[in-house]
Structure 1
Amino acid sequence: MADIVTISGSPSVTSRTGIVLHHLSELAHNAGLETESYSVLDIPPEDLVLGNFNSPALKAIEKSVKQAKAVIIGTPVYKAAYSGVLKSLLDLLPRDILSGKSVLPIATGGSAAHLLSIDYALKPVLYAIGARNILNGVYLIDQQLQHNIGSDVRFDPEIENRLFVSLNELIDEVKKDIYIRELELDPAKGRGTGA
């Protein structure tokens, strides 16, 4: 069972969105958390287009998200909004799938013109499927991330710091959730030694 699940809404095999999510997943793993990664490419296109709620690939994502404590959702920005294929995936998930989870939205775009796409386009959809603890997202533009077909990845220092800060906020939320669940299982853990 993963602590954090990442979902890439990019329809490209090698994408900036996927690279960012992979980077965040590695950082979370280095912080001692279990991560699991998915992409819209994991679901057969016909299942997304025809709305197959019983798709085995969709059910695997659904199960992992339900068990996770947090979700990072990444998307490229097309026409001032998240990708259509990500919307197709989110439409097939249960309407309360993100209930009780911390969610970190990430968006990648070609220019700063769509900086507010997370707040005005993505966050309302996440809210509609149960997310109430939506952290401040990170929007980065193409020039802030260089790579050579997925390797030799280099982030602009400013954006790398913003990603690190946002991920640490998410990790804090996950660790707080883990601690609360441990207390529910063993209330004695929360009691001090009483000097």
Structure 2
Amino acid sequence: MATILSVSGSPSATSRTARLLRHLDQRPTAQGHEVIPFDVRDVPAEALLGADFRHPAIVQATALVAQADGVVVGTPVYKAAYSGLLKSLLDLLPQYALTGKTILPLATGGSTAHVLAIDYALRPVLSSMGATHIVPGWFTLDKDITAGDDGTLAVAPGAAEALAQITDQFSAAVGGRTTVLAATG
């Protein structure tokens, strides 16, 4: 069906954000989509901070975005905005890298005071990159995500239900969007 790039903007390999994304990746996969996980923290810092557009990791990230029909963008919220790590990557992608893509913004944070970070911080930059189909995103409180030392993840029932619904809506939108694009192209 469709190719979905699942981007974690968390700087920590054990973060709730990254683990939540990898947990959610299973839903579109079960619906027949190919999901490619991408952790920005794996991109060398010198490439991101030095704005090295020619670095192989940046070239690869650009290619992954280009081949994706849909992109899930997950980030922890720091100081009422998305992570600086995610910002560094977005700054190095082509200006209109998200044109024609369906986007699902997701965020995690410690307080409901950060719930608007998706709409006031992340959504505008995604729109500026050409994304015209940004589905409703979701903010999940850190307290609703429990990560076990063995790699397991538990999400509070209310949050799990909402995330499943949002993810399924995104998956359907990506599937429908690729069908429309294929029919017109």
Which residue does the alignment assign to 2:34? 34
SS across alignment from 2:25: helix
Q: 1:143 to 1:89 in 2, by over 3 A?
A: same
Give the corresponding residue for 1:140.
140
CA distance in 2, matches of 1:138, 1:150: 26
Partner of 2:84: 84
Q: Which runs of 5+ in 2 are unaligned?
A: none
* Residue identity opposite 2:173 in structure 1: E
Deviates more, 1:142-151 or 1:66-75: 142-151
1:115-194 alignment, distance < 5 Å: 115-149=115-149, 151-184=151-184
Structure 1: 5+ residue stretches without partners: 186-195
Contact in 1 for aligned 2:41/2:85 (Cα 8 Å): no
Cα distance change on mapping 1:148 and 1:73 into 2, 3 Å: same
Q: 1:150 to 1:61 in 2, by over 3 A?
A: farther
Deviation at 1:176, TM superposition (A): 0.9
Aligned to 1:192: none
Q: CA deviation at 1:2?
A: 6.3
Q: Provide the aligned C-alpha RMSD in A.
A: 1.5
- 1:45–1:104 distance in 2 versus 1, CA, 3 Å: same
Deviations 1:101-120 (A, max 9, x none): 11000001011111101001
Q: Secondary structure at the match of 2:139?
A: strand
C-alpha separation between the residues in 2 aligned to 1:14 and 1:2? 28
Name the TM-score, length of structure 1 as normaliser: 0.90
Q: Which has the larger radius of gyration?
A: 1
1:189 is matched with none
Matched, 1:97 2:94: no
Aligned to 2:6: 6
Residue 51 of structure 1: how far off its partner (Å): 0.6
Correspondence 1:22 to 2:22: yes
Q: Secondary structure at the match of 2:146?
A: strand
The alpha-carbon distance between structure 1 residues 136 and 142, as it changes in their structure 2 partners (threshold 3 A), is same
Deviation, 1:13, is 1.1
Deviation of residue 179 (structure 1)?
A: 2.1
Asked if 2 retains the 8 angstrom alpha-carbon contact of 1:14 and 1:149, the reply is no
The alignment partner of 1:151 has SS state of coil
What do residues 120-143 of structure 1 show as CA deviations (whole Å, max 9, x unaligned)? 111111111111111111101111
Cα shift readout 1:18-43 (whole Å, capped 9, x = no counterpart): 11110121111111110101111121
Residues 100, 132 of structure 2: 8 Å contact kept:
yes
Alignment partner, residue 54 of structure 1: 54
- Give the TM-score normalised by structure 2: 0.95
Identity of aligned residues (%): 42
- Write the distance in 1 (CA, Å) between the matches of 2:47 and 2:116: 30
1:183 CA drift (Å): 2.9
Q: Distance in 1 between matches of 2:140 and 2:53?
A: 32
